[in-house]
Amino acid sequence: EPEVTQTPSHQVTQMGQEVILRCVPISNHLYFYWYRQILGQKVEFLVSFYNNEISEKSEIFDDQFSVERPDGSNFTLKIRSTKLEDSAMYFCASRKAGYMNTEAFFGQGTRLTVV
Amino acid sequence: KQEVTQIPAALSVPEGENLVLNCSFTDSAIYNLQWFRQDPGKGLTSLLLIQSSQREQTSGRLNASLDKSSGRSTLYIAASQPGDSATYLCAGVKETSGSRLTFGEGTQLTVNP
């Protein structure tokens, strides 16, 4: 069964460093997302991406964050200068199309620890 | 602002019991509602999607209902098993906020053998 895959599963980085989280969405999906979950808190929306551009972003997604689809399969989230409060589980998700009628499928997540 | 609330926060039941998890949302203008399962430290597994035009969906021992007028959804689990132990999350797509999912806090379910 097709699935969303994320790498790495766990990343530890020093404060101020840049990190890139990688995702391979399901191959025939067109809508891509990043969410995050700080330990013990709700899953929060960060950004959605469609047709090679950001379609929506939350107030969390500031200038320190960027997303890219560098080729036909990968979808990345870059955090330019990490802060301690960026420590969280980051989830990538994708939808086939027509969000009204389609499920969102999530990857297993990347646990980011900023020290 | 769309808020999603799940009650109870935690639930412990003996194996074999039928149970109901509740999800309520403040804004009835939702396109669809999705239920997920999350095991500790793991990703989100989609269980059921209910479109706004539907009232319920079933998958195996799971049945989810949606009542937009009252702003409520329930997830019914029949004949619970220890393997059902996990956190269950509901999330809605609001009509006026693109395709983002807004999540509840989750219900942590423990099924005791």
Give B16-37 pLDDT, tens digit per residue. 999 999 999 887 777 789 999 9
Q: What is the mean pLDDT of residues A36-57?
A: 94
Summarised one tens digit per residue, pLDDT across range A67-77 is: 999 887 899 99
Mean pLDDT to the nearest integer, B44-50? 95
**Which residues are CB-neighbours of A1 under 8 A, at least 6 positions away?**
none
Q: State the smallest CA–CA distance between residue A110 and chain B in angstroms.
A: 9
Compute the radius of gyration of chain A from its Cα atoms. Answer: 13
Q: How far is CA B8 from CA A106, B24, B104, B111, in A?
A: 24, 11, 11, 15
CB atoms within 10 A of CB A59: 7
Model confidence at A98, pLDDT cuts 50, 70, 90, reads low
Cβ–Cβ below 8 Å for A56 and B89: no
Give B-chain residues touching A42 at CB under 8 angstroms: 103-106
Asked if the Cβ–Cβ distance from B44 to A100 is below 8 Å, we say no
The C-alpha of B101 sits at a distance from chain A's nearest C-alpha, in angstroms, of: 7
pLDDT on residue B98: 75
Q: And the tokens for B59?
A: 């998958």
Residue B27: predicted pLDDT: 76
Q: What is the mean pLDDT of residues B82-105?
A: 90
What is the number of CB-based contacts under 8 A between chain A and chain B?
Answer: 64
Half-sphere exposure of B41 (CA within 13 A, CB side): 4
SS3 of residue B9 by DSSP: coil
H-state helical runs in B1-113:
none
CA–CA min distance A42, chain B (Å): 5
CA distances from A69 to A21, A50, A76 (A): 12, 10, 6
- Number of Cβ within 10 Å of residue B55's Cβ equals 12
